[in-house]
Structure 1
Amino acid sequence: MSTLALLLVGLGGIALLVLMIVRFKVNAFLALLITSVLVGLAAGVPLATVPATEDAPERLGIIQAIIAGMGGTLGSVAILVALGSMLGRVIEISGGASSLAGRFTSILGPRRVSGALTAAALVLAIPVFFDVGFIILVPIIYGFSHAAGLSPVKFGLPIAGIMLAVHVVVPPHPGVVGGAALLGADVGLLTLLGIAIAIPLGVISHYFSKWLNRRDFEMLASTKQMFEAFGGADAPTTATGTLTRTEAPPSAGMILGLILTPLIMIGIGTTASAVLPAGDPTRNVLTFIGSPILALLVTVVLAGYFLGVRKGWTRAHLSEVFESALPPAAIVILVTGAGGAFARILTESGIGPALADTLVSTGLPIFLLGFVVAAALRAAQGSATVAILTTAALLADAVAAGGYSSMQIVAITLAIGFGALGFSHVNDSGFWVVTRYLGLSVGDGLRTWTVLTTVLGLAGFAITSALWFAVSAGS
């Protein structure tokens, strides 16, 4: 199939998906699966898996690609979402979220809370993957939103925006680290410049989100149910009693300690993997301790003890609290997984490589080309990490042969990262995580989250461009 035909199929598939969900109100999970099948058929993805030969790699069939995409996404997301929801639920029922929110609000004042949370999210995002960090912070977002009487999108949107910005340009996140390795960028310099640029982006995320939130968005019914129950006021009744609390709420310090526990554990693991050599026994132990799943599991157990058992909850009651967190989480998990399936179909179809090859052949300056190719790949297949790695691989030979200085190579790497920041939409699993937790419909998500990520990507590229021209002028 020609490059033009593949690009038209990709655009048509995305348009069909948006039309099904927004115009015809098709369930997002079903719409993603239906569109995945139709795009696979239109793009010539085989009906059954074609084994590898000497001349060609294995090609997955449509259903096999959907399963692989769904499984690959759920493998990293499902456990985290489930554990994060359990942690949020026990903090919620214990009254801890309201306690923390009330304490911070009384100290900072209601007008400063959003800015303070955005600043904190920037720091917390450095050692923690975007989706993991956002899920961990959801109970805090909900708690502050309840205390202020606002929709969670008011606090959650700027937090998610700056966390994703850090994810794409600051090591040790996988996309930028892999891109730096392919291009030969200085990781230390890249880290310092990435953080330096992320600071003004945090300010932009805060104020631009306030502008996007100048109107109120109708909350999705599933999120509304989860959000209104948060805090225990309308907690459901179970076979053995109510999930509402009767004891005094935990202190704000206790809740803050629990929230920081997985972040500290993950930070220890990330530092160990960056500092210690591969195969070192100490590194193996510390990276195990710092794995996101173990970090959240340990925190859930600690929360169950300190917020439940030590407060007099029975084991049956604690089990019911944990179990009540799973039905709302299942919706987030399934829709996110289906988003991964759609992204895998786009990859198997060859739409992403066709788009990249077309752009590389234009002869644009390498700095601009890195940004444009990464942005196009991000929009085409959804994953920011894949967009960064693919773009870096495409440009690696040109960078190696270009005689660029260390600062220029770092600037090229940053340009690629900021290209992969924007255009988060329906083929990105992160789009579904953010919009489902914040209660945004697909249309509202495109108007807010997609616009915010794109503005942050353009702003980051603008700042990096100033660095590029300053360095190039002096060389």
Structure 2
Amino acid sequence: MDPMTPVHSAGVLLTIAAVAVAVLLFLIIKLRMHAFIALVLISFVTAIAAGIPMADVARVAISFFSSTLGSVALLVGLGAMVGRVLEVTGGAQVLADTLINRFGEQRASFALGVAALLFGVPIFFDAGLVVFLPIIFSVARRFGGSILLYAIPAAGAFAAMHAIVPPHPGPVTAATELGGSIGLTMLIGLPVAFIAWYVGVYLFTKVYAGKIMVPINDNVLRGSLSGEASDLDDGEDDQRAEDLAAGRAEVAPPAFGLVLGILLMPVILIAFNTGIDTLRKAGTLPEDGVVLDTLSFIGQTPVALLITLLVATYTLGRRRNSLATLETILNDALAPICAIILITGAGGMFGGVLRYSGIGTALSESLDAMGMPLIVAAFVIATALRVAQGSATVALVTTSGLLSAGVAAEGLSDLKIVCLVLAIAAGSTVLSHVNDSGFWLVSRFFGMDVKTTLRTWTVMETTLGLTIFVIALLMWFVVP
């Protein structure tokens, strides 16, 4: 949808944007309004204030809401189903046990983090952390030392994947809003997530966090597994650990090779599409061809995830569960993601209104006048939103909406857009503190007081985010 002709000056439009964001933060932080409701309300109010005709406000807002969901809902839903099938069939336990046995006692925390990185491809931060809790405590009891030596690498791995790599909703929405390639974001995001995790999480743990003695508290573990209420990151619901344990008890554990193959399958398939598209643009491959078109088709992100889900379902789930049980497993995967899908859709609505009204263009022009590069602005804006309201996903979708008009005007390449997505993800990761529900999730699960959580988790999230931003900044000056 083409932007309308602005009815206000750039200064007025920027003032409207600033007030809109301030009111949004007030509604979420002070009035405790649900982020979905707050985003929808602010989208309508901003549209009216910016001069969009009253008769068109609902139509414009809903069109951007639906276009965002068209990209986000399908990918997030399929990814969540893949994660759930792996979860209940014991894939996480097999993955962690195998890697720990191969890496040995001295690198147990590294192996646990790598397992969490792999398992974090399809599964959200909170669900992954709950699934890994018994594994983390088991490894800590086996090898001894502070629980943080094993907890921080695993939790940091889930945080990195949640912020950077599709099909997680934040990076999917950011790539969509900025007009980038979701598949390319995933392919580049995976190695960036590993590097950022190794530097910002694993080394940080070895040098500092792992030396802070936090004893294993079995009461904490039992309390966590009993389904006590907890506030989860970005409004996602907790996965009840009793259900996980029951699901794993009913099935034989899968082979490590099968679990690893399923986790890598969407990456390999997406690489087909990205590689073929790149070679076609370079003139190396012909534009037409049934085989190439087929490989390109199966490598499109939703198709790749659907194929992966079918393979996971019938190699892991179908052979070990009845059709009725399998249906329940897949249904259980969808319930926790409803809130986050609605939040991302509403964030797309807000971003669309900003673009359509001309606010996004005014912002990009003001950033140019200040001499602030887009890559730096992406990090700064996302950081401000993250610190102010706590939610990484809200920071991601709001920042990408604010910058989308400027990105479109610049005509950036897909690689440059990936750099911007990484910079936004970096800003949405740093400085997790008491207004972030993930902060309290980690604090409660691992038996830390607020001071210790600030010294460890908050600092780790900041080193992780800064590492992501440094990588994005270096790429920005290298890629075409």
Deviations 1:45-88 (A, max 9, x none): 22233xxxxxxxxxxx3x12221221111111111222222222
Residue 161 of structure 2 corresponds to 159
Structural mapping, 1:63-142, within 5 Å: 63-108=58-103, 109=105, 110-113=108-111, 115-116=113-114, 133=121, 135=123
1:10 touches 1:39 (CA, 8 Å); kept in 2? yes
Aligned mates of 1:354, 1:346 — CA distance in 2: 10
User: How has the CA–CA distance of structure 1 residues 64 and 14 changed in structure 2, closer, same or farther, with 3 Å as cutoff?
Assistant: same
Residue 341 of structure 2 corresponds to 333
Residue 315 of structure 1 corresponds to 323
Give unmatched runs, 5+ long, in structure 1: 50-60, 125-131, 180-186, 234-242, 397-408, 426-433, 469-475
Are residue 22 (structure 1) and residue 22 (structure 2) matched? no
Aligned mates of 2:341, 2:332 — CA distance in 1: 15
Aligned mates of 2:355, 2:54 — CA distance in 1: 16
1:352 touches 1:377 (CA, 8 Å); kept in 2? no
Aligned mates of 1:410, 1:70 — CA distance in 2: 23
Deviations 1:366-392 (A, max 9, x none): xx6454465578789746599488348
Per-residue deviation, 1:296? 1.6
Structural mapping, 1:298-377, within 5 Å: 298-311=307-320, 313-362=321-370, 364=371, 369-372=373-376
1:92 touches 1:230 (CA, 8 Å); kept in 2? no
Paired residues, number: 391
SS in 1 for 2:54: coil
Deviations 1:98-121 (A, max 9, x none): 222222233335321365358x67
Residue 260 of structure 2 corresponds to 256
Residue 136 of structure 2 corresponds to 148
User: How has the CA–CA distance of structure 1 residues 331 and 10 changed in structure 2, closer, same or farther, with 3 Å as cutoff?
Assistant: same
Aligned mates of 1:208, 1:344 — CA distance in 2: 40
SS in 2 for 1:48: helix
Scaled by the length of structure 2, the TM-score of the pair is 0.64
User: How has the CA–CA distance of structure 1 residues 27 and 46 changed in structure 2, closer, same or farther, with 3 Å as cutoff?
Assistant: same
User: How has the CA–CA distance of structure 1 residues 449 and 24 changed in structure 2, closer, same or farther, with 3 Å as cutoff?
Assistant: farther
Letter in 2 for 1:390: G
Which of residues 282, 296, 299 is equivalent to 2:291?
282
Per-residue deviation, 1:463? 4.7
Aligned mates of 1:195, 1:83 — CA distance in 2: 18
SS in 1 for 2:245: coil
Per-residue deviation, 1:8? 2.1
Residue 7 of structure 1 corresponds to 14
Residue 3 of structure 2 corresponds to none
Are residue 266 (structure 1) and residue 264 (structure 2) matched? no
Residue 300 of structure 2 corresponds to 291
SS in 2 for 1:232: helix
Give unmatched runs, 5+ long, in structure 2: 1-7, 138-150, 215-219, 280-284, 386-394, 430-435, 443-452
2:81 touches 2:333 (CA, 8 Å); kept in 1? yes
Aligned mates of 2:109, 2:401 — CA distance in 1: 35
Give the percent of matched residue pairs that are identical in Structure 1 and Structure 2: 26
Residue 238 of structure 2 corresponds to 225
Which of residues 29, 32, 45 is equivalent to 2:39?
32
SS in 1 for 2:55: coil
Deviations 1:126-145 (A, max 9, x none): xxxxxx95559997665444
Residue 146 of structure 2 corresponds to none
Letter in 2 for 1:248: A
Aligned mates of 1:36, 1:439 — CA distance in 2: 30
User: How has the CA–CA distance of structure 1 residues 384 and 19 changed in structure 2, closer, same or farther, with 3 Å as cutoff?
Assistant: closer
Aligned mates of 2:112, 2:72 — CA distance in 1: 26
1:161 touches 1:205 (CA, 8 Å); kept in 2? no
SS in 2 for 1:225: coil
User: How has the CA–CA distance of structure 1 residues 273 and 133 changed in structure 2, closer, same or farther, with 3 Å as cutoff?
Assistant: farther
User: How has the CA–CA distance of structure 1 residues 224 and 147 changed in structure 2, closer, same or farther, with 3 Å as cutoff?
Assistant: farther
2:230 touches 2:441 (CA, 8 Å); kept in 1? yes
Residue 466 of structure 2 corresponds to 455
2:86 touches 2:259 (CA, 8 Å); kept in 1? yes
Aligned mates of 1:374, 1:148 — CA distance in 2: 35
Per-residue deviation, 1:272? 1.6
Aligned mates of 1:178, 1:90 — CA distance in 2: 29
Moved more, 243-252 or 416-425: 416-425
2:179 touches 2:408 (CA, 8 Å); kept in 1? no
Letter in 2 for 1:232: A
Scaled by the length of structure 1, the TM-score of the pair is 0.65
